[in-house]
Amino acid sequence: MKKILLQITMLVATLFFSVAGLSASDNSGKVINLTKGEFLKLVYDYENNPESLEYLGDKPAIIDFYADWCRPCKQVAPILEELAKEYKGQIYIYKVNTDNERELAQAFGITSIPTLIFIPQTGAPQVSQGALPKDILKSTIETVLLGK
């Protein structure tokens, strides 16, 4: 009985640590919600490197600063979900809830939502405010993020 209990405990622990250790690459094809801590690890560690905002990702990214109550944010959300699937393996699409992550929003000067930040692998990020239609978002992904 103790042996079975130990095996079950080990299985649960393995599953827990597997799920807890998921990285952005495991979520490719999905919009990824970020906390400040995750942002610092996956996007920019602006606390330790405030002078140099060096992108930490291995693929271009879009960061959507949003709030649950924001009507234009709700219009953009399903489009971003579609684009995450369409560009699976090519880009990351991140979301940051400005109500939950006020310090992060303030650090990046987010004064209007939705604000989208397009981060290419190399070159300067580009910022867009407001709800953009899918065709504009696709065009921006193609030109700014993928360089096509």
User: Is a pLDDT exceeding 50 seen at residue 52?
Assistant: yes
Q: Are 147 and 118 in contact (CB under 8 A)?
A: no
pLDDT at position 53 = 76
- State residue 64's pLDDT score: 98
Buried b (16+ CB within 10 A) or exposed e, 35-44: ebebbbebbb
Give me Rg for the CA atoms of the chain.
18
Q: Which is the catalytic residue, given 24, 43, 61, 73?
A: 73
Between the CA atoms of 109, 57, 80 and 148, what dihedral angle is there, to the nearest 10 degrees? 110
70 catalytic residue (yes or no): yes
Q: Provide the 3-class DSSP secondary structure of residue 39.
A: helix
Q: pLDDT tens across 90-139, in order? A: 999 999 999 999 999 999 899 999 999 999 998 889 999 999 999 999 99
pLDDT bracket for residue 26 (50, 70, 90) = low
- Dihedral of CA 76/79/84/87: which sign? negative
Pick the CATH number of 24-145 from 3.40.30.10, 3.40.50.1000, 3.20.20.450, 3.40.47.10: 3.40.30.10
Is 69 within 8 Å of 5 (Cβ atoms)?
A: no
- The residue annotated as part of the active site, out of 32, 42, 70, 145, is 70
Residue 54 confidence class, pLDDT cut points 50, 70, 90:
confident
Residue, of 88 and 12, whose pLDDT is higher: 88
Domain ranges of the chain: 24-145
